[in-house]
Amino acid sequence: MFSFLNGKKEQDETAAPAPAPEPPATASSDTPFHPPETWNLDALTAPVPAPAGGAPEIGPMDAAKTAEFQQPIIDVIKTVFDPEIPVDIYELGLIYEIIVDAENRALVRMTLTSPACPSAQQLPQEVRYKVKAIPGITEAWVEIVWEPTWTKDRMSEVAKLSLGFF
């Protein structure tokens, strides 16, 4: 009686048990989408590295490597959007620094719009996975920094226009 209150359904003891749901079908080799061979799909499943001492294991900045990878890194960062704001995080001015060392390890220093940002866990992880998936990048770290504090002045003209700040 009143079994609907606790979410359980009374079963008729004479009724046969419900069949178990079938597992989802796996993708076959004849699907229309095939990722390019240059994609580093391992980057999507690789665990976050646990650097000793809490700092990323990255060497000194290599100016040539940073120049080589800066635009591809910016391009993938521009695909990351704050879920509450319809502008990518690069145009919002959340990216403070991009460094690549001689071993093609990348470090992205970024901030968030506020320390209480509801996307504080999701955004850095998405940036890390996307940067690490760039062909040639061997590892990627994202460091959240709070200085200088983010303000609307850091936004690009494109972002300000998109959000109607003029």
What average pLDDT does this structure show over 118-130?
A: 91
Task: Report the 10 Å Cβ neighbour count for 51.
Answer: 11
- pLDDT category of residue 130 using cuts at 50, 70 and 90: very high
- pLDDT category of residue 82 using cuts at 50, 70 and 90: confident
Q: What per-residue confidence (pLDDT) applies to 7?
A: 55
Is residue 61 a contact partner of residue 101, using CB atoms and an 8 Å limit? yes
Q: What per-residue confidence (pLDDT) applies to 52?
A: 46
What average pLDDT does this structure show over 64-82?
A: 94
Write the DSSP string, 42-58.
HHHHPPPP--GGGS---
More confident residue, 116 or 143: 143
Ordered structural domains, the chain, with CATH: 65-166 (3.30.300.130)
- Is pLDDT of 54 > 60? no
For the chain, give the mean pLDDT.
81
CA contacts within 13 A on the Cβ side of 124: 18
Residues 6+ apart with CB under 8 A from 126: 80
What average pLDDT does this structure show over 119-130?
A: 92
Q: What is the pTM of this model?
A: 0.67
- pLDDT category of residue 15 using cuts at 50, 70 and 90: low
